[in-house]
Structure 1
Amino acid sequence: MAEREHRSLFGEILDWMLAPLLVIWPISVALTWLVAQGIAGRPYDRELGEMARNLGLQVAAAQAPEGRRSRYALAPEAAALLRADEADTVFYQVLGLRGEFLSGDRHLPVPEAEAPIVPWVLHFRDDEVGGENVRVAYLWVAPEGMAGSTQTMLVQVAETLGKRSRLASEIIKGVILPQFVILPLAVLLVWMALARGIAPLNDLQRRIRSRESSDLSPIDERRIPDEVAPLVRAINDLLGRLDQSISAQKHFLADAAHQLKTPLAGLRTQAELAQREIDEGRSSPAELKRSLKQIALSSQRAAHMVNQLLAMARAEDQEHAQRRSDVNLSGLAVETVRDFVPRALDKHIDLGFEGPDASQSALRVHGHPLLIRELIRNLVDNALLYTPAGGTVTVRVVEDPFGQVVVLQVEDSGPGIPESEREKVFQPFYRALGTNVDGSGLGLAIVREIAQAHDVEITLDATRSLRPGQGTEDGQGPGARFTMRFGARPRAEGSTAEGDAGLEP
């Protein structure tokens, strides 16, 4: 899909303001023309109506009494006066009581029948004479001396539309021509008003562009329009969150660099010591072996620290965390326990698993297999670090019989975590006071990041009701239990334990 082109806010507002103006202007011209036609026709209609009425009076006075033949002829002087208009042609027609032609122009159309006919009421209509448009004034005339009779005579006077058109054109010119001057002036004023209205946005843009890349302070909201204030507040909120994120990353990198300095310094010290002893000829196989063992231990610590940092970055990567599928939580827990069995045997710790068999598990967790595996590994690693010899570490998976939740628990019999420190242990590089455990301090921070990415809440409590530091008969402490509840979905039909995401065949 092609990338959408950037549009100018100034141009878009200008278009929306000028487009209606340019559309309304032709409509205004058309309406002005129609109104001008009506205005121009009124005086000429009055004049035409007077001519028809005067002609009707003459016809009524000249009509023969009842019983004699109807006849009428307009006097030559009157006919000449009627046709004296140089601009337009005037037609007239007189029809008798029985509709017979008496005088005037025979080709003038007769009006359509109207009922009832009211004598001496003036009417107007538009018609054609010889292919030319005319305006017609007509009325029915009752002859004198025929009171009470229903018979009437028709008198019509028609006139071409030359004068009317010229007057309408003059009105249009007087109205429209000023608009040709006003329209460009209106466009100029609209453009200037928009330019002035958008000036604060340009000023805001310049202020933002002139900032240093390290300046994440809030933008001043006092010099911006009210319409842009919500956008500036949203940017300020983003800048605040970005500042917090960058500060956290800087703090994290500083702590990581500090933590890596210890194993790297040990590597360098042991290498220099071994080299000095070899140069002085005082080295023995036992001393070299001890130095090499310390070098291996320091490199192992550094490698573990780097792996933890990579896991932390992977847990914080939102795009990576969104790649999810159905995961067999029991299968992942069993695999993790198997991986840590040799280490548990070396420390004489009873490491076990409680839960449904991977192949019989009925529920699946929707999540990222690699991250969930990392979560379990860090919990088990943390439990083995703090549990003394002879203790127990248990990984437990409990499936909800209603198919809604799968619970993961990792508990140990170590010294436990005081309530005052249970929130702090999830912070990077934090270690509980009073312990001499050699760890990176990132394990539980990674667990919290992965849990938050899967919308899972972690609950931390003690496995035994003992005060921290108070021992038991078996020499173990109150222990710690980490509990997480994952949303579950039924296992898909036809799937196998080996076919689920996160399990190796």
Structure 2
Amino acid sequence: MSAAPQPRSLFGEILDWMLAPLLLIWPISVALTWLVAQGISARPYDRELGEMARNLGLQVATESARGTQNKARYALSAEAAALLRADESDTVYYQVLGLRGEYLSGDQALPVPQADASIQPWDLQFRDDEISGESVRVAYLWVAPEGQTGANRTMLVQVAETLGKRSRLTNEIIKGVILPQFVILPLAVLLVWLALARGIAPLNELQRRIRRRESSDLSPIDEGRVPDEVAPLVRAINDLLARLDQSISSQKHFLADAAHQLKTPLAGLRTQAEFAQREIDEGRSSPSELKRSLQQIALSSQRAAHMVNQLLAMARAEDKEHAARRSMVNLSGLAIETVRDFVPRAMEKRIDLGYEGAEIAASQLRVLGHPLLIRELIRNLVDNALLYTPNGGTVTVRVVEDPFGQVVVLQVEDSGPGIPESEREKVFQPFYRALGTEVDGSGLGLAIVREIAQQHGTEVTLDDTRERRPSPGHETPGARFTIRFQAQSQQALPPPAQE
């Protein structure tokens, strides 16, 4: 069994989403700073190194123009060589190669450019290389002596320098940029924390306002005192409070009506019991009178039991979770079973109770619903029809299946007095009973029918079975209740699971 998810802190989640990118970007910023610092530190030293190479190239070109073959002419003077090596932190190398690539002067260990490097006279170029395992920065150019033409008539001049000064300058730049960030980063985290705490304060205030409310206070929350981002949530809560208030008011009204309706049979029970006891005490009771009192007690207890059963059925119909447990239901089978259950009662009133429609085996359509609730719906419709149909009347339960497989229609019609159009909406209200009738009912049956129908995504329609005639002596119009359920084809249903 999986563990229940732990509640998450909105404050902590927002803080994580704000700090995580900040902490992720910080090392990227350090790497980018290092790359930029390398570029910045290299520029001035590359410029100085290039000037040295260019000056040496000019000297080599001048000596070559004089036509001398003395290699010592291409060597730096003692003063110039001493100047190159005056830097205590870095070592400077130089090299001069002749027209045929022969060594003329300088450091022989200095590598030459790659063979596929382009040769452009007097084009100063830079590369990174190594001398004796030590990294150096090399500035080189091809020198074309006066009177010499062609790419093969050039001399190579190279000046190389180790990277000590560059590394130190790079480190200084990184320190100057990164060290303040060690102060700025905690300060930024603190400011984010304070900003979040201040931003979430209205939520805490809203929480305190709700906690201070009485359990009976279902008035709407003031939306003007909450941030715009929270206003939709507050509106949803206000909508829930309004529906909850309406539901509680309906329940209170329902309980008050139920208590009032139960008073009558309970009062009758008590009255008949006290009357029978008084007659026995006074010695005036006869078997016939005692039997009559017991019959009244039985009738009152039957009314009370019927009222309690109807109340339980109403509560069951309003239970959304109970109604959500659904399966495929054969509506014809439920209708036939219900009719059979009411046959004895119909025979007592000499009412012709019958069923019309598809047989159980021949039924090809099913209804997705709760079997107990649908059975309760049919029972209440039949019970209501038997209550209002006079002796010798007719009650018909009908199930009609759509040949296109879209709906299954349930109809219960009777030959009773019918219901005027002005009262057809009222009869579905709890505890309402039509005026002018002497029927002893609970007034909950049709309310239960409507609630179950709505739970199954459909409505109950009510009309007359026959045309109303104002003249006396004609047949009563009767009442027809019709419910259209969404159908499911039996052929399209999945096979039952094998246990």
TM-score by length of 1: 0.93
Q: Distance in 1 between matches of 2:35 and 2:489?
A: 76
Q: Aligned runs of 1:445-484 on 2, under 5 Å?
A: 445-467=447-469, 471-473=472-474, 476-484=475-483
The answer as to whether partners of 2:326 and 2:369 remain within 8 angstroms in 1 is yes
**By how many angstroms is 1:433 displaced?**
0.7
Structure 1 residues 58, 399: closer, same or farther in 2, change over 3 A?
Answer: closer
Contact 1:471 / 1:477 at 8 angstroms: preserved in 2? no
Match of 1:363 in 2: 365
- Please list, as runs of the form range in 1=range in 2, the aligned pairs for 1:28-107 lying within 5 A after superposition: 28-63=29-64, 65-66=66-67, 68=69, 71-72=72-73, 73-107=75-109
Whole-angstrom CA distance in 1 between matches of 2:492 and 2:120: 94
Report SS of the residue matched to 1:63. helix
Provide the C-alpha distance between the structure 2 equivalents of 1:472 and 1:383, rounded to a whole number of angstroms.
22
Instruction: Give the C-alpha shift of residue 355 in structure 1.
Output: 2.1
Aligned counterpart in structure 1 of residue 316 of structure 2, from 314, 317, 321: 314
Match of 2:419 among 417, 420, 440: 417
One-letter amino acid of the structure 1 residue matched with residue 347 of structure 2: L
Query: Over aligned residue pairs, what C-alpha RMSD do you find?
Result: 2.1
CA distance in 2, matches of 1:471, 1:359: 45
Contact 1:399 1:406 (C-alpha < 8 Å) held by counterparts:
yes
Q: CA deviation at 1:288?
A: 0.5
Q: 1:433 to 1:212 in 2, by over 3 A?
A: same
Distance 2:469 2:381 in 1: 22
- Cα distance in 2 for partners of 1:322, 1:148 equals 97
Q: Which runs of 5+ in 1 are unaligned?
A: 500-505
What one-letter code is carried by the residue in structure 1 that aligns with 2:36?
A: V
- 1:17 equivalent to 2:37? Answer no
Would the alpha carbon gap of residues 440 and 167 (structure 1) be closer, same or farther in structure 2, given more than 3 Å must change?
Answer: same
Q: Is the 8 A contact 1:64 1:71 kept in 2?
A: no
* Residue among 442, 453, 464 paired with 1:440: 442
Deviations 1:220-270 (A, max 9, x none): 000111111111111111111111111111111110011001100000000
Mapped pair 1:431 → 2:404: no
Show the counterpart of 1:346.
Answer: 348
Change in CA separation of 1:67 and 1:178 when aligned onto 2, cut-off 3 Å:
closer
- CA-to-aligned-CA distance 1:282-309 (integer Å, 9 cap, x gap): 1111110010000000000000001111
Specify which of 325, 332, 337 is matched with residue 335 of structure 1: 337
What amino acid sits opposite 1:29 in the alignment? Answer: V
Contact kept in structure 2, 1:260 and 1:302, CA below 8 Å = yes
1:90-136 deviation line (CA, Å, top 9, x unaligned): 11111122111111111010112356523222221111011111111
Residue 290 and residue 41 in structure 1: after superposition, are their counterparts in 2 closer, same or farther (change >3 A)? same
Displacement of 1:65: 4.6
Residues 339-378 of structure 1 deviation map (CA, whole Å, 9 limit, x = unaligned): 2222222222222222233333333222222111111111
Change (3 A) 1:359 1:152: closer
Give the drift of 1:71: 5.0
8 Å contact from structure 1 (residues 70, 96) kept in 2: no
In the alignment, structure 2 segments of 5+ residues that lack a partner are none
1:236 match: 238
Taking the aligned partners of 2:53 and 2:68, their CA distance within structure 1 comes to 26
Report the Cα distance in structure 2 between the residues aligned to 1:186 and 1:325, rounded to whole angstroms.
59
SS at match of 1:6: coil
Q: Deviations over 1:312-339 (max 9, x none)?
A: 1111112222222222222222222222
* 8 A contact 2:148–2:154 mirrored in 1: no
Q: What is the CA-CA distance between 1:215 and the residue it aligns to? A: 0.9
Q: Which of the numbers 132, 137, 140 marks the counterpart of 1:138?
A: 140
Q: Is the 8 A contact 1:127 1:134 kept in 2?
A: yes
- Quote the offset at 1:274 in angstroms: 0.5
Question: Which of the residues 245, 248, 251 maps onto 2:247?
Answer: 245
Query: Which one of the candidate residues 304, 307, 318 is aligned to 1:305?
Result: 307
- How far, CA to CA, are the matches of 1:326 and 1:60 in structure 2? 103
Contact 1:32–1:172 (Cα < 8 Å) also in 2: yes
Poorly superposed stretches of 4+, deviation over 6 Å: none
5 Å-filtered alignment, 1:132-281, equals: 132-144=134-146, 146-148=147-149, 151-281=153-283
CA distance in 2, matches of 1:159, 1:318: 85
Q: State the percentage of identical aligned residues.
A: 81
Q: Distance in 1 between matches of 2:417 and 2:171?
A: 104
SS in structure 2 of the partner of residue 137 of structure 1: strand
The alpha-carbon deviation at position 17 of structure 1 amounts to: 1.0
Aligned amino acid, residue 215 of structure 1: D
282-291 or 406-415, larger mean C-alpha shift: 406-415
What is the alpha-carbon distance in structure 2 between the residues aligned to residue 88 and residue 11 of structure 1? 53
Q: 1:51 to 1:316 in 2, by over 3 A?
A: same
Q: Which moved more, 1:248-257 or 1:408-417?
A: 408-417
| C-alpha distance 286-180 of structure 1, shift in aligned 2 (>3 A) | same
Taking structure 1 as reference, are residues 6 and 342 closer, same or farther at Cα in structure 2, changes over 3 Å only? Answer: same
Instruction: Measure the CA separation in 2 of the matches of 1:41 and 1:477.
Output: 109
The answer to whether the 8 Å contact 1:41/1:164 transfers is yes
The residue identity in structure 2 corresponding to 1:455 is G
- Find the aligned partners of 1:403 and 1:181 in 2 and give their Cα distance: 75
- Secondary structure, in 3 states, of the residue corresponding to 1:435? coil
Q: Structure 1 residue 206: deviation in Å?
A: 0.8
